[in-house]
Structure 1
Amino acid sequence: MHRSFSILMKELSAPNIQEKASEISESEELQAENPSQKSSQSDPVRVSVALPPNRIIRTRQIWSKLLHAAALPVIVGGAAFWLESELSVTLLQQAWPVMALLAAAYVGAWVLNSKLERYPFLNQFEGALLSVSVTLLPAGGLFAAMPGSPINTLALLATLGSVGWYLADKFLHRYRNSSLLILPGGVSDRLFDLPGVSKEQKTQNKKRACDGIVADLHESISTHGQLLANQSMKGIPTYHAGYIYELLTARVLLGASCKASVDVWKRRYYPYVRRAVDLTLIILSLPLTLPIVALTAAAIRLESQGPVLFRQRRVGRKGETFQMVKFRSMYHGNPGEESDVFADEGDDRITRVGRFIRKFRIDEIPQFWNVIKGEMSLIGPRPEQAGLVEKFDDDVTLYENRHLVRPGITGWAQVLQGYVADEEGTRHKLEYDLYYVKHQSVTLDLLITYLTLKTIVTGFGAR
């Protein structure tokens, strides 16, 4: 969405960017090329930025790859030596299917972790732990559940050793920050206030090569065009400020220079896989959710008069409206019950039971019915009230783009921001929603599921 001016952006894929980048002096070379820029407000600013790995700086991972490749043989060999009295050559020959499954799980953990590293707010060790939790640990659980034999014992020991080896490597591995030159003006100015961005001292500038130039290419092409062209010829890539903003915040940058639409990479089979996963998870969760539904319905009925369920017209995919159902959490017949309004954190219309079920998201369980009907998905932008959507479509830029996908019970904005209670909060939330629309994938859905479970435990964002 944000990268434009292809003649400048061809350098994004150039190899060995670090070696080609020349040292840029803020006070001499840049002002010499742009003598008209005397104001400190328009002078380029050199910053150190904690960006996800392999987005700007291409890390050399050969030693890390060799370390991982050596892990399984070393661990299996050590476990076999320890169990040598119980193992024979014949048993070891029979163990290759188990070892193949373990190797596949190990590679899967590595691939998944490399995808999770793009999210800056996710701790590196936490991402590694999540990766092994859905790959290596299930494999180890399978081995532990099988009837006891020397092969299963070997596999279980190898699994535990692989998890420890993997987590230790990720805990000890560190990536260096990128050194970027930001050209002020337009949406570039919003980068200075983001976490992970700090201004470099001039003494640091002399020691480090510049990894790239960041600018609002819709705004800065007229004032910094010569500088951008000159540095591009030297092999220093140019990035639109919106691209860096996405890497740092996992949100789509909204501003005057944004395009009138969001580019979405359509995955051919992804919607069908998502639909199958939604229905499967709902069916598998019934033994847990049905008792909760029964207890919640009884508690609502005992505390206050009125129906157990609350229905409200919401806007779904492609702008189509539907009746969303949830447990009633407010007193029946309260002022504004039929109006399209936000719920405040201290809203006195909410009952005691309602406050509890909102905090732990229990009030959302009846929406499984909306998912079964195909009106919603388990994961997606939160469906908004129809009256508010009409208002936001007119007042909030790109708001209609959040309806390109099915709305969800949980989503990217819900787990990272929580509920909002005003129009400004809606704009901020929209940046998260558009990021999901733009980057939706199995990996992102898995991360949202994990963060949702954390949200349920902590009660973050409840209204």
Structure 2
Amino acid sequence: MALLAAAYVGTWVLNSKLERYPFLNQFEGALLSVSVTLLPAGGLFAAMPGSPINTLALLATSGSVGWYLADKFLHRYRNSSLLILPGGVSDRLFDLPGVSEEQETQNTKRACDGIVADLHESISTHGQLLANQSMKGISTYHAGYIYELLTARVLLGASCKANVDVWKRRYYPYVRRAVDLTLIILSLPLTLPIVALTAVAIRLESQGPVLFWQKRVGRKGETFQMVKFRSMYHGNPGEESDVFADKGDDRVTRVGRFIRKFRIDEIPQFWNVIKGEMSLIGPRPEQAGLVEKFDDDVTLYENRHLVRPGITGWAQVLRGYVADKEGTRHKLEHDLYYVKHQSVTLDLLITYLTLKTIVTGFGAR
């Protein structure tokens, strides 16, 4: 009963943290929460020798899972009513999905949940209004905070003063490293046959090495050789250049197109993780030549190198592959969000979305 109670509390805590990501379906978040808490507890009860107590615990677990999922499926939150003061980056909020401007009338008038303003720009023009509403107990939010809450991206712009802090959790990097190595070891019975079959398929289709090594930029701007399965014809034009892959790129082989779609070409990067050059989760390491270009053209680009790069990451599961400056800026907003808010909960969510991406093939080129 103590284990069941702890698992249920764990479900509630995890689901509460996942609810901060508005793009994640409410029921989907609840399902993910019970999958890593209540369901393992139920599996433990089922594996124990049969007894009335164990049977009762298993039934209670099943009932808890059913009740929790049904409650989240039927429960709906009301939309927040926020007063957005114009000016600065606040204006960019109206371009986001789920944000709509409503004219206040007697029929629609209701209590305001808070005020949103660009506190770097609007404090001089709306200072009196902000002070009056604060005295009434109405919260004031910076536009950048609401932007992050709605998009899971850091707001980049002229008025944005992004704050990146990677040292909030003292033991988190060590736990992450231990988890990376443990997961790689546990996955070997599954990945080794896939590696062998992929290597044979690559050699049978085209001449050239099975593996492809490329210079990438990692943590603190240090370069390293990242390894992948070769997915393009050997000796193709641009093989030695730092360029993006186009959609439908004719340099990609048939085997390469398949392994790219399901991310099989990334499996050899487990070697980079073992060496400590990468992590399983983090911003994708970029080609060295492109990094030099983006450092000059894209604001705060160098801050994505404050953490180890990853095989999968926040930008990969939400944005997919990008091949232009504007797409790179949006991808950087996702990467900086991860750098600022990295946590066990966020890593768990990225893991789930990565598995979902592998099944759908989202963003592959």
Q: Same fold (TM over 0.5)?
A: yes
C-alpha distance in structure 2 between counterparts of 1:255 and 1:205, whole Å: 37
Please tell me whether the aligned partners of residues 155 and 162 of structure 2 are also in contact (alpha carbons under 8 angstroms): no
The answer as to whether partners of 1:261 and 1:398 remain within 8 angstroms in 2 is no
Measured in 2, the distance between the counterparts of 1:314 and 1:362 equals 19
Instruction: Supply the distance in 2 between the matched residues of 1:204 and 1:156 (Cα, whole angstroms).
Output: 53
Residue of structure 1 equivalent to 2:52: 150
Which of these residues, 88, 95, 108, is aligned with residue 193 of structure 1?
95
Deviates more, 1:366-375 or 1:223-232: 223-232
Partner of 1:164: 66
- Aligned with residue 324 of structure 2, among 416, 419, 422: 422
The 1-side partners of 2:26 and 2:154 are apart by 22
2 CA distance for matches of 1:240 and 1:265? 23
| Cα-to-partner distance string for 1:304-331 (whole Å, 9 max, x where unaligned) | 0100000000000010000000000000
- Using the alignment, how far apart are the partners of 2:58 and 2:141 within structure 1? 47
Separation in 2 of the partners of 1:276 and 1:242? Answer: 34
Q: CA deviation at 1:438?
A: 0.2
1:236 to 119, 124, 138: 138
Following superposition, the deviation at residue 215 of structure 1 comes to 1.2
Q: CA deviation at 1:157?
A: 1.0
**Distance change in 2, residues 1:205/1:322 (3 Å):** farther
**Rg bigger for which structure?**
1
Deviation, 1:266, is: 2.0
Distance 1:173 1:282 in 2: 38
Counterpart secondary structure, 1:384:
coil
Distance 2:141 2:50 in 1: 57
RMSD of aligned Cα (Å): 1.3
Contact between 1:261 and 1:401, CA under 8 Å: does it hold in 2? no
Greater RCO, CA 8 A, separation 6+:
1
Q: Equivalents in 2 of 1:262, 1:186: separation in Å?
A: 21
Which deviates more, 120-129 or 143-152? 143-152
Q: Deviations over 1:319-369 (max 9, x none)?
A: 000000000000000001011111111111000000000000000000000
Give the Å deviation of 1:163: 0.4
Alpha-carbon distance between aligned partners in 2 of 1:442 and 1:266, rounded to the nearest angstrom? 13
Summarize deviations over 1:365-392 as a string: whole Å, max 9, x none. Answer: 0000000000000000000001100111
The Cα shift of 1:227 comes to: 2.4
Question: How far apart are residue 198 of structure 1 and its match?
Answer: 1.6
Structure 2 unaligned spans of 5+: none
- Conserved? CA contact 2:115–2:140, under 8 Å: yes
Select the residue among 223, 230, 237 that pairs with 1:321.
Answer: 223
- Cα contact 1:263–1:438 (8 A) shared by 2: yes
Distance apart, 1:151 and its partner CA: 2.4
Cα separation, 2, equivalents of 1:137 and 1:170: 17
Q: Contact 1:376–1:407 (CA<8 Å) still a contact in 2?
A: yes
Displacement, 1:224? 2.2
Which of 430, 443, 451 is matched with 2:345 structurally? 443
Instruction: Tell me, in whole angstroms, the C-alpha distance in 2 between the residues paired with 1:291 and 1:151.
Output: 42
8 Å CA contact retained: 1:124, 1:171: yes
Structure 1 residues 395 and 204, CA, compared in 2 at 3 Å: closer, same or farther?
farther
| C-alpha distance in structure 2 between counterparts of 1:265 and 1:118, whole Å | 22
How far off is 1:458 after superposition? 0.3
Contact 2:205 2:255 in 1 (8 A): yes
Q: TM-score, normalised by structure 1?
A: 0.77
Q: Distance in 1 between matches of 2:301 and 2:198?
A: 35
Equivalent residue for 2:163?
261
Identify which of 381, 399, 408 aligns with 2:301. Answer: 399
Counterpart-to-counterpart distance in 2, 1:356 and 1:248: 34
Partners of 2:246 and 2:237 in 1: CA distance: 14
Classify the secondary structure of the residue corresponding to 1:206.
coil
Quote the offset at 1:144 in angstroms.
1.4
Using the TM superposition, give the Cα deviation of residue 261 of structure 1 relative to its aligned residue in structure 2, in angstroms.
4.7
What is the deviation of 1:290? Answer: 0.1
| TM-score normalised by the chain length of structure 2 | 0.97
Give the superposition deviation at 1:152. 2.2
Work out whether residues 166 and 306 of structure 2, in 8 Å CA contact, stay in contact via their aligned partners in 1: no
CA distance in 2, matches of 1:122, 1:276: 28
- Structure 1 residue runs of 5 or longer lacking an equivalent are 1-98
Contact 1:214 1:238 in 2 (8 A): yes
Structure 1 stretches of at least 4 aligned residues deviating more than 6 Å after TM superposition:
none
Q: CA deviation at 1:205?
A: 7.5
Q: 1:216 to 1:336 in 2, by over 3 A?
A: same
Could you tell me how far apart the structure 2 residues matched to 1:367 and 1:258 are? 35
SS at match of 1:161: helix
Structure-2 change in CA distance of 1:345 and 1:206 (3 Å): closer
**CA distance change for structure 1 residues 114 and 213 in 2, over 3 Å: closer, same or farther?**
same
Report how far residue 143 of structure 1 moved.
Answer: 1.5
Q: Counterpart in 2 of 1:359?
A: 261
Q: How far off its partner does 1:210 sit? A: 1.3
Q: After superposition, give the CA deviation of every residue in 1:63-95 in whole Å (9 maximum; x if it has no partner).
A: xxxxxxxxxxxxxxxxxxxxxxxxxxxxxxxxx
Give the SS at the match of 2:226. Answer: strand
**Residue by residue, what CA displacement relative to the aligned partner does 1:239-267 show, whole Å, maximum 9, x if unpaired?**
11100001101111000012265244521
